[in-house]
Structure 1
Amino acid sequence: MAAFRDIEEVSQGLLSLLGANRAAALQRRLLGRHEQLLDRLLEKQEAGEQQVREILAAEQKVAQSLLDAKERTHQGGTELQQLEAELHRAAAEDGQLQADLLQLSQQLQELRELEAELHRQEQEVDEDTTVAIPSAVYVAQLYRQSSKIEWDYECEPGVVKGIHYGPSVAQPIHLDSTQLSKKFISDYLWGLVDTSW
């Protein structure tokens, strides 16, 4: 602005000199001053244009940085949403695992109680059988001695199988209890026992 005022002053001075018809030297001096002012104005204009170019480049750089920051923020937001979704899934899985763990703990407690009950029942059976075993063994031995029958305990269910060691010859026993009555089987077996003692 100051440069334009200077130019205006110089131009008015030139006009007044021309109008007053003064000396040519003064006119040349004013024209030289005018040229200097124009040169300064051009330099300032070029410097201003350079500053504008630098400002535009800086603005472009800042705008690009802002766009990059927005993109990073968007990506960060997306990653944050993904992390929140994963955290939600992990919390749900943790809840399910906690429920499963509680259920397993309850089942383990029930198994321990059943084990304790089984152990108690085994002790009761042991106490009962300690008295009964000698008499059961005695009865079994007495029955074997008197009947002379050796039973096959590995035969299939529903079959009475064994060997009767009679007075003269061993005789196999093979009776199907699904086809024969219990009375017949009992009579048959008692018929094998030797009554002459």
Structure 2
Amino acid sequence: MAAFRDIEEVSQGLLSLLGANRAEAQQRRLLGRHEQVVERLLETQDGAEKQLREILTMEKEVAQSLLNSKEQVHQGVMALQQLEAALQEAGEEDTRLKASLLQLTRELEELKEIEVDLERQEKEVDEDTTVTIPSAVYVAQLYHQVSKIEWDYECEPGMIKGRGMFECHSVPRLC
């Protein structure tokens, strides 16, 4: 704005010189001043153009940065959606596994009850067989004492095998 005021001032000075007697000296002086003003105007114009180019360059960089940011946001949204879907699937799988665990826990409790019942029955059977086994052992010991036969108690059920000095005997088990 100051440059335009200076141009206006120079123009008015030139007009006043033309009307005055000392026109030639004033005209040279005003022309010198006019040249300075024009040079200043050109320098200002060059500076403005340089600043405009810098602003355009910065605008391009900002626009590119904005596009890159939008792309990153888009990718982030897609990744978030995938994570949410995976989280939902994991939640559903967790629910299925919890239901399965609950069912298996119930079955385990039932098996524990069955095991306790079987142990109780086994104790009852052991108590019942404990009463009869001593009599069978007594009979086997008596046979051994009398016949000197070594009895093999690890044979098939219902049989007791024995070995004497010369031959092998099979005797039906008494119990």
CA contact (8 A) 2:7 2:34 kept: yes
1:113 equivalent in alignment to 2:118: no
- Provide structure 2 residue ranges, at least 5 long, that are not aligned to the other structure: 140-175
Question: What residue is the counterpart of 1:32 in the other structure?
Answer: 32
1:63 equivalent in alignment to 2:63: yes
Deviations 1:145-193 (A, max 9, x none): xxxxxxxxxxxxxxxxxxxxxxxxxxxxxxxxxxxxxxxxxxxxxxxxx
- Note the C-alpha offset of 1:91: 1.6
SS at match of 1:121: helix
Equivalent-residue separation in structure 2 for 1:8 and 1:130 (angstroms): 134
Deviations 1:109-167 (A, max 9, x none): 111111111222223233344556769xx9xxxxxxxxxxxxxxxxxxxxxxxxxxxxx
Tell me which stretches of 4 or more aligned residues in structure 1 moved more than 4 Å: 129-135
Deviations 1:24-52 (A, max 9, x none): 12111101110110011011001001101
Deviations 1:9-35 (A, max 9, x none): 101110121133433121111011101
Question: What residue is the counterpart of 1:96 in the other structure?
Answer: 96
TM-score normalised to structure 1 length: 0.63
Equivalent-residue separation in structure 2 for 1:126 and 1:29 (angstroms): 138
Equivalent-residue separation in structure 1 for 2:130 and 2:31 (angstroms): 143
State the number of aligned residues: 137
- Note the C-alpha offset of 1:64: 1.1
Matches within 5 A, 1:131-146: 131=131
Deviations 1:57-112 (A, max 9, x none): 11111111111111111111111111111111112212211221121111111111
Output the aligned Cα RMSD. Answer: 2.1
TM-score normalised to structure 2 length: 0.70
Equivalent-residue separation in structure 1 for 2:102 and 2:67 (angstroms): 52
For the structure 1 residues 22 and 13, does the alpha-carbon distance in structure 2 shift closer, same or farther, using more than 3 Å as the test? same
Equivalent-residue separation in structure 2 for 1:59 and 1:92 (angstroms): 49
Equivalent-residue separation in structure 1 for 2:23 and 2:101 (angstroms): 114
Equivalent-residue separation in structure 2 for 1:95 and 1:28 (angstroms): 98
1:75 equivalent in alignment to 2:75: yes
Larger Rg: 1
